[in-house]
Chains A and B, each alone.
Chain A
Amino acid sequence: MSVRTRPGPGEPVASLVEVAAYVPDTSVTVEEAAVPLGLSPQEQRRYRRFLGLDRVRWDPAAHQVDLLCAAAGALESLRGNEHRVRFVLHARTIEPTGPYSVNPLHQAVGKLGLGHATAFGVSQHACASGLLAVDLAARLLAAQGDPSALALVLTGEKTYRHVARFMLAATIMGESSAACLVGLDGPRDRLVAYASRTDGRFHELTAVSGEVATAFGEQYPAGLAAIITEAVDAAGLTLDDLALILPHNVNRVSWTRLCNQLGLPFDRVWLDNIPRTGHCFCADTFVNHTDATAAGRLRPGDHYLMVSVGLGATFSAMVLQH
């Protein structure tokens, strides 16, 4: 599957008005995380030495709604502009968050003063659902005709031991969250192109070992390279035009391989958070956006790429211009 979007002449261009993140203060080491996750000493060594993980951020006291509100509450542009928000999308890796009657998305919408907005969840691209949600938010805004309207994309999920047990042994999940305010025709972070492909050969989510898992591991770098290339092509750019890649924080080794495959300089991929946060579902690339921007890694006019992969398996990449 492949989808590309690039606004035509005269069509509004979506932009990221602001991105904010919540990174919990509480962190545990790989070795400390190994206790509740049941990781063997061999797995701990693999995570630390081979995959580049060190600590993971968890917020044991927080519920799902708290993660969403903490990220959205950090959006300075949201304050005073709540009335402009028409849509709230929660991009999710795992759909159920708890009992049906407890709806964290709508709880968050109420707490944030956004009860007038239409809110819903977006899923089935797993950890790549965040980029899908930005694309859908852009489409919804363009369709509703008010150039001042905004959409809020929320990402971040609670992690549980169960999740780790049924994920491929390539990362440790964290509980950082992010909020992304999307608008039309903004001055910065303009959406240039989006590409996404689902490779259904890997639809079995519990295939954590055996032939399918091995095949996914082998296909992963090629699938990632292909979607990045497609997004860059759709933007009318080359890889050399990208100032920075904001990846999902699965592990360091997969990005090393990708850089080798694409001939990308390693320092053009923002990997600072991999040893710090763990892999935070759909939130990674947005968390990286806030940190890279704060570090001055994006200058006005720079093209950059947000990229993520979801189990199932969906590869997605989005080109933006700062």
Chain B
Amino acid sequence: MLRLDTIRHRTFGPSSATEPFAGFLDLFVERCAPHGVAVVDGPVPGNHNGYASMCLRLLTDLCAGQDPDAVVIAHALPDYDMTVSISGYLEQRLPGEPLIFAVSEQGRTTPFAALRVAATLAAQYERIAVLVVDQGTIPYPDPALSTVDSTTDHAVGLLFTRDGRTPPPLVRQLTGVGRERLTQTLTTELAHTPDATVILGPGVEQALTSPAPFTGATAVVGAGRAVGPALAEPTRNSPPGGQWCTAVWSRLAGVLADPPPGPVVAVEYDPELGYLCLSIFEAIK
């Protein structure tokens, strides 16, 4: 894997495109009907942002003067603007002929899969952008998405280069981790990186019932819900929110803006899939 050069978090308010294209609702009606789910009747609440335009604006922030030769997009929530190919849209607006594709279907831990895939490209590409995107305009009710924030959309970009300031992250993806094993598994995993700053995603925060995993941590960054009183002192809270797969990465961007001395571990958990994922960034130059 290449080294992490830059990380940027960008938020998005309402788009100027308030109405979906004619087939947007039809597409979800067809796909949701076999599962007994009805698509919303009337205007779809949300910002109506599409991933293609979100990615382009994020790349502008992320890659000034260092246009990527590979772009890996990670998203868990469906796109709002399906009138365009994201890869085609970006290809037309980026110099060169970058490789562009998307990774999805791994819930809150999807970006870890994207990082893992991006690592395999490092021998062939020199500037790899991993773009993690959440948009909250969802045209059907889904209990699993009830906490998604539809008022603010988020995108986090990580640019990896040969001479980035942060060593290549180690990505661990553990499958089949039920809630009952989460604390024990995380304790074991974090024991490999004592004195780390541990950044929690909302998935792991909500599923944890004990602060035990963090006994060796120098700081725990999260919304504060799961860390408990025993860790009140070393905890740096960040605002809670309804971010989906971007949450842990926007918190990481905040931490790396003023890097701590030791390693930084980003942790997220998808309770429905039983995926526990860690990305370990060693001490930063």
A196 located at the interface, meaning its Cβ lies under 8 Å from any Cβ of chain B in the complex? yes
B175 located at the interface, meaning its Cβ lies under 8 Å from any Cβ of chain A in the complex? yes
Known: A2-B97, A204-B83. A140 touches B142 (CB 8 A): no
User: Which of A1, A90, A118 interacts with B175 by CB under 8 Å?
Assistant: A118
> Given A1-B96, A200-B87, list of 6 further CB < 8 A pairs?
A103-B107, A123-B104, A125-B101, A162-B23, A197-B97, A199-B88
Q: Which residue of chain A is the closest to B144 with respect to CB atoms?
A: A101
Interface size on B, residues (CB 8 A): 62
B98 located at the interface, meaning its Cβ lies under 8 Å from any Cβ of chain A in the complex? yes
User: Which of A1, A2, A119, A314 interacts with B106 by CB under 8 Å?
Assistant: A119
Q: B176 — which chain A residues lie within 8 A by C-beta? A: 115-116
Interface residue ranges of A92-136 to B (CB < 8 Å): 94-103, 105-106, 115-126, 129, 132, 136
A205 located at the interface, meaning its Cβ lies under 8 Å from any Cβ of chain B in the complex? yes
B175 CB to nearest A CB, Å: 6
Check B175–A120 contact: CB distance below 8 A.
Answer: no
- Residue interface mask B22-52, A partner, CB < 8 A = 1: 0100111011101101000000000000001
| B interface, CB within 8 angstroms of A | 21, 23, 26-28, 30-32, 34-35, 37, 52, 73, 76-79, 82-93, 96-107, 110, 113, 116-117, 119-121, 124, 138, 140, 142-145, 173, 175-176, 272-275
A72–B145 Cα distance when bound, in Å, is: 30
A14 CB to nearest B CB, Å: 12
| A interface, CB within 8 angstroms of B | 1-3, 5, 63, 90, 94-103, 105-106, 115-126, 129, 132, 136, 139-140, 142-143, 158, 160-162, 165-166, 196-206, 310-314
User: Which of B86, B93, B124, B142 interacts with A124 by CB under 8 Å?
Assistant: B86
Check B102–A122 contact: CB distance below 8 A.
Answer: yes
Q: Which residue of chain A is the closest to B86 with respect to CB atoms?
A: A124
Check B103–A122 contact: CB distance below 8 A.
Answer: yes
A109 CB to nearest B CB, Å: 9
Check B87–A124 contact: CB distance below 8 A.
Answer: yes
Q: A63, A124, A311 — which one has the most chain B CB atoms within 10 A of its CB?
A: A124
A126–B82 Cα distance when bound, in Å, is: 12
Summed over the interface, the residue pairs from A and B with CB atoms below 8 Å come to a total of 172
Known: A126-B85, A200-B88. A143 touches B23 (CB 8 A): no
B124 CB to nearest A CB, Å: 7
Known: A99-B32, A100-B77, A200-B90. A162 touches B119 (CB 8 A): no
Check B35–A140 contact: CB distance below 8 A.
Answer: no
Q: Which residue of chain B is the closest to A133 with respect to CB atoms?
A: B101
Check A95–B27 contact: CB distance below 8 A.
Answer: no
Check A116–B175 contact: CB distance below 8 A.
Answer: yes
Q: B76 — which chain A residues lie within 8 A by C-beta? A: 100
A8 CB to nearest B CB, Å: 9
Check B88–A313 contact: CB distance below 8 A.
Answer: yes
B27 CB to nearest A CB, Å: 5
Check A1–B99 contact: CB distance below 8 A.
Answer: yes
Nearest 7 A/B pairs, CB to CB: A312-B85, A203-B88, A200-B92, A121-B105, A200-B91, A139-B120, A1-B97
Check B83–A100 contact: CB distance below 8 A.
Answer: no
Check A142–B101 contact: CB distance below 8 A.
Answer: no
User: Which of B31, B91, B101, B138 interacts with A97 by CB under 8 Å?
Assistant: B31
A206 CB to nearest B CB, Å: 5
